[in-house]
Amino acid sequence: MGLSLTPLEESIYHEIISTCTKAIEVIDFHFQNLPQNVNSVNDNSPIYMPVVPRFRLTPKKKTDFIKIVSAMFDARMFETKDGYIANNIKEILNEFGRLLGDDFERYSSFLSLAKNSEINTFMKPFKDIEKKAEEYYYKELKK
């Protein structure tokens, strides 16, 4: 810019540029992902959504993930930011969907289909997690 800035002014200048760049990325993401019906946006829309999610579910594990989160919900493991027990599984799954860049809108369909399977098939992700937890437990004891 041709300005002569002190080190403090230059630091502030770079911080402002960084903040503006992040804001532009967020705005750009929202413009690119506007719903077809703008009136469908609700009060639960995310304030900030990263441009590209950092993590995603392993392919073909969506139903397993939904089963696990649903069981956690039933076990009352989630609470609101105000400290109340969460009472809406759909909102919880929508939050996970935002984090993972996935759509869990039809979570109940996934659960219904999963319940039509044999109990061993339904319980497989829980047993896999239990096995990994046991391995971790015994591994930590050996240290």
Interval 115-133: pLDDT, tens: 888 999 999 999 999 999 9
Interval 11-20: pLDDT, tens: 887 778 777 7
41: region left, alpha or beta (phi > 0 left; psi from -120 to 50 alpha): beta
Are 8 and 34 within one domain?
yes
| pLDDT for 131 | 93
Number of structural domains (the chain) is: 2
Are 44 and 102 within one domain?
no
Are 76 and 121 within one domain?
yes
Are 47 and 63 within one domain?
no
Interval 41-73: pLDDT, tens: 454 555 545 557 888 898 889 999 999 999 999
Are 67 and 79 within one domain?
yes
Instruction: Report how far apart the first and last C-alpha atoms of the chain are (Å, whole number).
Output: 58
Domain end (from 31, 52, 73): 52
Are 17 and 65 within one domain?
no
| Strand spans (E) along the chain | none
Interval 64-101: pLDDT, tens: 999 999 999 999 999 999 999 999 999 999 999 988 88
Q: Tokens 């993930």, residue?
A: 65
Give how far the C-alpha of residue 128 lies from the chain's centroid of Cα atoms, to the nearest Å.
22
Paired tokens of 75: 């076990």
User: How does residue 37 score in pLDDT terms, banded at 50, 70 and 90?
Assistant: very low
Q: Which residues form the domain of 11?
A: 1-52
